[in-house]
């Protein structure tokens, strides 16, 4: 039983570690697809937000797009 | 001279007549008889016959985004959406059905008692059990989340609704991608731990010819692993490595292959995946419900000596010979005078 518990715990630890390591190789869309000739919107001013969650407040709260009609 | 002028006049008239008549001759008509002026224009079929894929020019760094249409993608989608669910269902449900039939016809393989019953022998040490369970628990999550890619939207979404299914599928995708790493490590651990006991030999052929003890009451001789267990081992190692390779190709898009290559990887990954799941279902059955006493090997690590003698007689003899010769000396140790 102890081997099973340790195995499950180790699997979770390794999975979490993998998530951090793999996350390091990821870039946000506005970083990956922007050049000096093409700009893919500033963080916080697009419709989906920098994390593609719909939350446009982070991290570019100061650049937040104006609300429609304002 | 006059004759020459007449000839030129005739040729000019012929050319003028052809110029007037040609558009009418070339005009293609629609099925209803009306002229169809776009019939000879470039269409999709014609484009696909000219090039394997259609791309454009873009200014963003991601050049793969320039690919607009790739016809092979339609074949992949057709396979993924129409063939794959049937193949997956056939493999998984077919194996479950076969195991059900086996259980109700052959029944559970019972533990045969002898004078050695009640005594225990260590079959798998703590690290072996750790490697097995780490791989096994990851496999179960990988299998369920992998099947969700094929069957989730068909079976689960109608039950729990699109919002709950979207959240579940997203977390399932995270689990699939991240638990793949301890799974790969576990496969490597098991390869190193057990390869020496899984080399096929003549005794395995005899075991197979006698039906492995499944078809009758006889127990063919076997060393630490019998031929059936060796097949499971090589299936796990072979399929595990193939699933790892194809999975890594998809986990790092365009690192080693193009979009077409990744679609091929996905097809290989999914086909091996469902066969792998079917094979492991059989392994789980025989390790738990199918054979009394078998689970202890991976549960506590110790099995009943009578069970071990019946199913792995050569291994028991070898282990007992080690014990009979006394504790093994470590490096640098010398026997007492």
Which H/E stretch holds residue B69? strand B67-69
Residues B320 and B227 in one domain: yes
CATH for B310? 1.20.950.20
Residue A37 located in a structural domain: yes
If we measure between CA atoms, which residue out of B77, B53, B50 comes closest to residue B67? B53
**Number of structural domains found in chain B:** 2
User: Within a 10 A sphere around the Cβ of A59, how many other Cβ atoms?
Assistant: 12
Residue A23 located in a structural domain: yes
Note the pLDDT of residue A63: 46
**Of B192, B215, B238, which residue sits at a domain end?**
B192
Residue A17 located in a structural domain: yes
Interchain proximity B182–A33, CB inside 8 Å: no
Residue A9 located in a structural domain: yes
Q: Which residue has the tokens 């790493």?
A: B181
What the block records as the tokens of B218 is 């006889």
**Of B192, B219, B243, which residue sits at a domain end?**
B192
Residue A47 located in a structural domain: yes
Residue A65 located in a structural domain: no
List the alpha helices (DSSP H) in B218-291.
227-251, 259-287
User: Shortest CB distance from A33 goes to which of B60, B132, B299?
Assistant: B60
Structural domain for B177, as ranges: 125-192
What the block records as the tokens of B2 is 């006059």
**Of B192, B214, B234, which residue sits at a domain end?**
B192
CA distance B208 to chain A (A): 32
What the block records as the tokens of B7 is 């000839």
Residue A70 located in a structural domain: no
Residue B337 located in a structural domain: no
Interface predicted TM-score (ipTM) = 0.77
* Average pLDDT taken over every residue of chain B: 86
**Number of structural domains found in chain A:** 1
User: Shortest CB distance from A3 goes to which of B60, B126, B251?
Assistant: B126
**Higher confidence at residue A65 or residue A10?**
A10
| Residue B132 clears pLDDT 70, i.e. is over it | yes
Residues counted in chain A: 70
| Residue B290 clears pLDDT 80, i.e. is over it | yes
User: Whole-model pTM?
Assistant: 0.77
Note the pLDDT of residue A46: 63
Residues B160 and B267 in one domain: no
Q: Which residues have a Cβ under 8 Å from the Cβ of B174 and sit 6 or more positions away?
A: A19
Q: Return the HEC string of B191-217.
A: HHHHHHHCCCCHHHHHHHHCHHHCCCC
Tens-place pLDDT, residues B65-87: 788 877 778 889 999 999 999 99
Structural domain for A22, as ranges: 2-59
Instruction: Sort out which chain A residues have CB atoms less than 8 A from B59's CB and list them.
Output: 35, 37-38
């Amino acid at each position: 039983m102890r081997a099973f518990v340790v195995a499950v715990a180790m699997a979770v630890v390794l999975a979490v570690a993998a998530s951090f390591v793999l996350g390091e190789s990821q870039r946000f869309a506005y970083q990956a697809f922007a050049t000096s000739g093409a700009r893919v919107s500033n963080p916080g001013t697009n419709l989906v937000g920098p994390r593609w969650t719909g939350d446009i407040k982070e991290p570019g709260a100061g650049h937040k797009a104006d609300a429609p009609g304002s | 001279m006059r004759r020459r002028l007449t000839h030129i006049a005739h040729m000019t008239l012929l050319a003028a007549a052809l110029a007037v008549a040609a558009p009418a001759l070339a005009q293609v008509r629609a099925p209803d008889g009306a002229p169809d002026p776009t019939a000879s224009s470039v269409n999709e079929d014609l484009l696909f016959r000219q090039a394997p894929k259609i791309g454009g020019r873009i200014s963003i760094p991601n050049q793969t985004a320039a690919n607009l249409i790739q016809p092979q993608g339609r074949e992949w989608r057709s396979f993924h959406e129409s063939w794959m669910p049937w193949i997956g269902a056939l493999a998984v449900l077919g194996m479950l059905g076969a195991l059900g039939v086996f259980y109700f016809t052959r029944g559970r393989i019972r533990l045969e008692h002898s004078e050695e019953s009640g005594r225990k022998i260590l079959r798998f040490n703590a690290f072996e059990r750790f490697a097995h369970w780490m791989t096994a628990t990851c496999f179960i999550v990988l299998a369920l989340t992998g099947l969700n890619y094929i069957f989730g939207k068909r079976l689960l979404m109608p039950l729990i609704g699109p919002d709950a299914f979207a959240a579940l599928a997203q977390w399932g995708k995270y689990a699939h991608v991240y638990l793949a790493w301890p799974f790969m490590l576990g496969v490597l651990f098991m390869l190193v731990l057990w390869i020496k006991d899984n080399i096929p030999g003549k005794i395995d052929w005899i075991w197979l010819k006698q039906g492995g003890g499944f078809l009758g009451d006889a127990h063919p001789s076997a060393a630490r692993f019998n031929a059936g267990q060796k097949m499971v081992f090589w299936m796990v190692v072979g399929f595990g490595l193939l699933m790892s390779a194809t999975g890594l190709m998809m986990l790092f898009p365009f690192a080693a292959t193009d979009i077409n290559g990744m679609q091929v990887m996905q097809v290989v990954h999914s086909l091996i995946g469902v066969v792998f799941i079917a094979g492991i279902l059989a392994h789980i059955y025989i390790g738990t419900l199918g054979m009394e006493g078998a689970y202890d090997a991976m549960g506590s690590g110790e099995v009943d000596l009578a069970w071990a003698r019946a199913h792995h007689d050569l291994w028991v003899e070898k282990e007992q010979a080690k014990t009979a010769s006394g504790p093994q000396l470590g490096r640098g140790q010398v026997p007492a005078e």
